[in-house]
C-alpha cells in the first residue's frame, strides 16, 4: 500500500521553515507479529514537536533526520497481526506524520465508536489529559480561587480553564488578540480574558486579577510568566506545562523569582507522558464532559498530509484556534 509521509529534512535554525520538511511516498512495510496497519484519519500537530526537531538534551530523544515526523493520530485498522485488534477497529496512537502506519499494536489504544474521532487528539486526548493532570494534580483550584492560564484558546488551555470553572474557580485566560479573547469568554466561559498583544496588557492583566492569583497553568513563559508571578497569592501553585515563547531560542528569563520565596509557591514542571497510568481515567472523564457539552472545544483543520508543515508553522505563530489537526482522509 502506498504511504505518503512527511520526514524531517533538516533541523531549524531559529523559526521552523517549510524546507525543514520533505514529503515522500513509499510502500508500507510488511507486518510483523504483533503489528497493525492503520489508515490514519487525523494527525495531531503539537508544540512539543518543535523541541524534537532540535538536537538538544530534553525529556525525550531528538527526532532523527530522514525519519517521519512523530505525532499522534487517530484512524482505522486495515490489517492486524496482533491479538485483540481486527480490521475496522478505531484506534488512537502515535502514527506519525503519514497516511498509513505499521507499528506494534501495543502503541495503540482502541476507541469505542460514537464520539467524533478527532476529540481523542484534542479535548479527550493528549492535550486535554495535560490540562486535566495540571489542574487536578498540581493546581487543585478551590471554589473562589483565581486561576490564570495562557495560550487560553489552545488545545490545552481551553480545557484547563473549563475544568477550573467546573471546580468553582474564577478563571482568567490570556490569549493573542481580541478575537481569541472573545472566544475564550463567550465559547469557553472563562470569567475574563486579557490580550497579551494589547499595548496596555500589564495594566489590564493586573485589573483582571483584583484578588491576586492562586493557581497558574503556564503554557508560554517569558513576560507572561513574570506578570503572573508578580500577582501570586501566598500558597499559590504553578503548573509549568510549556514555554512556547522560547521554543525558537528566545530569551525567557524570569525576573520575579522573589515571588516564589515570599509567597511560598509550589512550582511544578510536568510531562504528561510520565503519567500514562492515569490516561484511561482522564480520557473517560474528559470524553464524558465533551459528550455532555460541559467541555467545549474548537478545532483548526488543515487538509491533506502535504499541508502539515505549513499548519505546524502556523501553530507556532498562533494561527490556530483550538486543536490543530490535519485531516488525512
Ligand atoms: N508538559 C506537557 O506534557 C505538555 C503536553 C502538551 C502541551 N504542552 C505545552 O502546552 C502548551 C499549549 O499546547 P497546545 O497543544 O494547547 O498548543 P496551542 O495552545 O493549541 O497552540 C499554540 C499557541 O501558543 C501560542 N503562542 C505561540 N507563540 C507564542 C508566544 N510567543 N507568546 C505567547 N503565546 C504564543 C499561540 O496562541 P496565541 O495566539 O494566544 O498567542 C498558539 O496558538 C505548549 O507550551 C505546549 O508545549 C505541554
Enter the pTM of the model: 0.97
Binning pLDDT at 50, 70 and 90, where does residue 305 land?
A: very high
CA separation for the pair 320, 88 (Å, rounded)? 31
pLDDT over 70, % of the chain: 100
The rounded Å distance from CA 166 to ligand 1 centre is 22
d(CA 324, CA 311): 8
pLDDT of residue 57: 85
Ligand 1 pocket (Cβ < 6 Å) reads: 46-48, 127, 130, 151, 153-157, 175-176, 180, 219-220, 241-242, 244-245, 270-272, 315-316, 318, 320
Cell 495594566 sits on residue? 203
Answer yes or no: is pLDDT of 60 > 90.
Answer: no
Which residues 6+ apart lie within 8 Å of 14 measured at CB? 248, 249
**Ligand 1 pocket mutation pick from 43, 148, 154, 249 by most atoms within 8 angstroms of CB:** 154
Can you give the three-state secondary structure of 56-104, one letter per residue? CCCCCCCCCCCCECCCCEEEEEEEECCCCCCCCCEEEECCCCECEEEEE
| Alpha helices in 167-266, H assignment, sequence order | 178-186, 201-208, 223-230, 258-262
Residue 59 is predicted with a pLDDT of 87
Q: Cα of 101 to ligand 1 centre, how many Å? A: 27
Cβ(257)–Cβ(232) below 8 Å: no
Distance 212 CA to ligand 1 centre (A): 24
pLDDT in tens, 259-284: 999 999 999 999 999 999 999 999 99
Check whether 297 has a pLDDT greater than 90. Answer: yes
pLDDT at 111: 96
Average pLDDT, the chain: 97
Q: Identify the pLDDT of residue 46.
A: 98
pLDDT digits (tens, 9 = 90+) for 229-240: 999 999 999 999
Whole-number Å distance between alpha carbons of 232 and 213? 5
C-alpha 35 – ligand 1 centre gap (Å): 33
180-195 mean pLDDT: 98
Q: What is the tens place of the pLDDT at every residue in 188-229?
A: 999 999 999 999 999 999 999 999 999 999 999 999 999 999
Output the pLDDT for position 176: 98
Q: How confident is the model at residue 56 (pLDDT cuts 50, 70, 90)?
A: confident
Separation of alpha carbons 70 and 94, rounded Å? 7
Given a cut of 90, whether residue 290 has pLDDT beyond it is: yes
Tell me: pLDDT of 58 over 90: no
Helix (H) or strand (E) holding 110: strand 108-111
Amino acid at each position: 500500500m502506498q504511504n505518503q509521509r512527511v520526514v524531517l529534512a533538516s533541523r531549524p535554525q531559529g523559526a521552523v521553515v517549510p524546507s525543514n520538511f520533505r514529503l515522500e511516498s513509499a510502500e508500507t512495510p510488511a507486518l510483523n507479529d504483533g503489528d497493525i496497519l492503520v489508515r490514519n484519519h487525523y494527525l495531531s500537530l503539537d508544540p512539543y514537536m518543535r523541541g524534537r526537531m532540535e538536537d538538544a538534551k530534553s525529556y525525550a530523544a531528538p527526532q532523527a533526520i530522514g525519519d517521519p515526523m512523530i505525532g499522534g493520530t487517530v484512524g482505522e485498522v486495515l490489517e492486524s497481526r496482533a491479538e485483540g485488534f481486527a480490521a475496522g477497529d478505531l484506534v488512537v496512537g502515535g502514527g506519525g506524520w503519514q497516511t498509513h502506519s505499521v507499528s506494534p499494536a501495543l502503541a495503540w489504544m482502541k476507541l469505542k465508536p460514537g464520539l467524533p474521532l478527532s476529540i481523542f487528539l484534542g479535548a479527550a486526548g493528549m492535550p486535554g489529559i495535560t490540562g486535566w493532570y495540571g489542574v487536578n494534580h498540581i493546581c487543585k483550584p478551590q471554589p473562589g480561587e483565581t486561576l490564570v492560564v495562557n495560550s487560553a484558546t489552545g488545545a490545552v488551555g481551553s480545557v484547563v480553564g473549563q475544568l477550573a470553572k467546573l471546580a468553582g474557580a474564577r478563571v482568567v485566560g490570556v490569549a493573542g488578540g481580541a478575537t481569541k479573547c472573545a472566544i475564550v469568554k463567550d465559547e469557553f466561559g472563562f470569567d475574563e480574558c486579557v490580550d497579551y498583544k494589547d499595548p496596555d496588557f500589564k495594566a489590564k492583566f493586573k485589573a483582571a486579577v483584583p484578588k491576586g492569583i492562586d493557581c497558574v497553568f503556564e503554557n508560554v513563559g517569558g513576560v507572561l510568566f513574570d506578570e503572573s508571578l508578580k500577582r501570586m497569592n501566598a500558597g499559590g501553585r504553578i503548573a509549568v506545562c510549556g514555554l512556547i515563547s522560547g521554543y525558537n531560542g528566545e530569551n525567557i528569563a524570569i525576573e520575579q523569582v522573589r515571588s516564589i520565596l515570599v509567597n511560598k509557591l509550589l512550582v511544578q514542571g510536568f510531562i504528561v507522558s510520565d503519567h500514562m497510568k492515569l490516561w484511561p481515567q482522564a480520557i473517560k472523564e474528559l470524553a464524558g464532559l465533551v459528550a455532555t457539552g460541559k467541555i467545549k472545544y474548537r478545532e483548526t483543520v488543515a487538509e491533506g498530509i502535504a499541508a502539515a508543515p505549513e499548519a505546524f508553522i502556523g501553530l507556532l505563530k498562533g494561527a490556530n484556534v483550538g486543536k490543530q489537526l490535519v485531516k488525512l482522509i
